[in-house]
Amino acid sequence: MENIKNIPGKEKNINGAEAVKIVKDYFGMVKGPMKIQGVDLIGWLDFTSISVQPQINGYIVICKFKKMIFSTEYEIHKVEVDFEGDIISDEMTETTEDKIETTEKKNEST
């Protein structure tokens, strides 16, 4: 992804890959800094970036990770990161549990 540079008033201009790393580090702190066999907890939770979308004021990173270490359910988050690397917002958009309930309701109605 191309880095958008030379934004007036900004000291730092991160790129999309750096935005994903910032989001992963953020959730690493939120979920806890614990390590299991030398691997950060967020690594065990299977953190995955789904998309990185450049915006006028930064990036929207959509990512997913397991609710708990041995869970099969995932949380999906939409996180906005500005060009300085600060997280502006974090919104959990859905879980895999939400998708299952929606599918079951559709199946019941047919």
| Predicted local confidence at residue 5, as pLDDT | 46
| Predicted local confidence at residue 109, as pLDDT | 57
| Predicted local confidence at residue 96, as pLDDT | 65
Is the predicted pLDDT of residue 99 greater than 90, yes or no?
A: no
Band (pLDDT 50/70/90 cuts) for residue 6 is: very low
Joined tokens for residue 41: 């907890």
Band (pLDDT 50/70/90 cuts) for residue 7 is: very low
Q: Round to the nearest angstrom and report the end-to-end CA distance of the chain.
A: 43
Note the pTM of the prediction, 2 decimals.
0.75
Tens of pLDDT along 11-49?
Answer: 578 999 999 999 999 999 999 888 888 889 999 999 999
Is the predicted pLDDT of residue 9 greater than 60, yes or no?
A: no
Tens of pLDDT along 39-94?
Answer: 899 999 999 999 999 999 999 999 999 999 889 999 999 999 999 999 999 999 87
Q: What angle do CA 11, 23, 83 make, to 5 degrees?
A: 20
